[in-house]
Amino acid sequence: MIQMMNENDKIQEFSLFGGLLHQLGCRLGLVRERTNTIRLGFALGMLAWGILMLLAFLHGVGFKMFSLSLIGVHIRLLVAVPLFFLCETLVVPRMAEFISNLVKSGIVPEAELPALASDIRRVGRIKDSWLAEIIFLLAAFTLPLIGMIFNMPGTGKTGNWAWILEQAGGRINWVNGWYLLFCLSLFRFLIFRWLWHLGLWCYFLWRVERLNLHLIPTHPDCTAGLGYLEVVQEHFSPLAMAISVVLSAQFAEDISSGTMAFETLYRFIPIVLIMNAVLFMGPLFIFSPKLWKCRVTGLNEYMVMASQYVNVFDHKWIRGGRMVVESDLDTPDLQSLADLTNSVNVVRKMRWIPAGRRLIMGLFASVILPMLPLFLLKYPVTELAEKLFEALSGL
């Protein structure tokens, strides 16, 4: 099918990631097979963190860097940054497989393949542009300065320029200068970069939804053949965990310094869950109108066919007055009736979005697990162990 298309309409390999940083990683040998960027993530995080620690020890404040009030510094560079690139490494091949699945399964008909190829090329041109990353770099540097000028609240103590400069007596030295100008700017740049890629992914899914898709209401995945899209979204879990890890570190900084009550967590955690649901499940609702229409149309068509079949079945085996003998138990009519019933049930169970319990539980775990250590600030390990022993022993 693809071979019959002309060269301009050939389906290219889909990828959301490109630009200056990706090309730099390829030239340095830190990107393998064009999609494996884990080495690049570790290199960026370790470079920023290593120089920061070296400068801190040279200025005699190295041991102060390991206090709980500065945990966000280490979490951003050593955990969140590598997780950003781990997510790239996992999700990009799954996106390409999703496009391949659409073509091979016939969900995108042959007549729509040129339009799909055009959309992939359009996304490719956008993601390879350096302009977006240059804008992100400028924003990463200028937004904190604007925040200080207008006295806007920051995100956590170690993400707030004003708080960091206040701790240094209003002076910029080599330590806080490196952290503010490079480390925090790098982190913000990567955040902007990921938001841009998520926006591109939503745009591409919207373009796919506008195609004349051949959706099958009886498809076993209960989403008319779009079920592999859930697999793609599952691989955003490292990004969801990175967001949760950073927020957890910020909460730990605020709780340890007394600027935030521990009980406030019970209000923030649902907000974090909703935010991740919007980011990683929200794009799936793009297909809801077509899935709903497919279900309604499928129910109508299969109900009509089911009514015609059971009328014939009833007339032949029940109303016809025919005596049933043992050999009739093996008739294909019974198996066909069961198969038809299963098909109608599949249409009935069609979901509005290509997502199920597995995706929901994966995102939930990615958000909650990084938050669990915060409870040690309220309930020390020894106290938790004592209460657990009391609960188990009944003493």
Per-residue model confidence (pLDDT) at position 52: 93
Residue 364 has pLDDT above 60, yes or no: yes
- What whole-number percentage of the chain has pLDDT above 70? 82
The CA distance from 222 to 217, in Å, is 7
Mean pLDDT of the chain: 84
State pTM to two decimals. Answer: 0.85
Go through the chain and tell me how many residues it has: 395
On whether the CB atoms of residues 155 and 191 are closer than 8 A, the answer is no
Q: What is the DSSP string of 207-249?
A: HHHHS-----TT-TTSSTT-THHHHHHHTTHHHHHHHHHHHHH
On whether the CB atoms of residues 218 and 298 are closer than 8 A, the answer is yes
Q: What is the pLDDT of residues 333-357, one digit of tens each?
A: 667 777 777 888 888 888 988 988 8
Per-residue model confidence (pLDDT) at position 356: 86
Binning pLDDT at 50, 70 and 90, where does residue 6 land? Answer: low
Q: What is the pLDDT of residues 113-137, one digit of tens each?
A: 999 999 999 998 888 888 888 898 8
Nearest-10 Cα torsion for 219, 223, 224, 227: -80
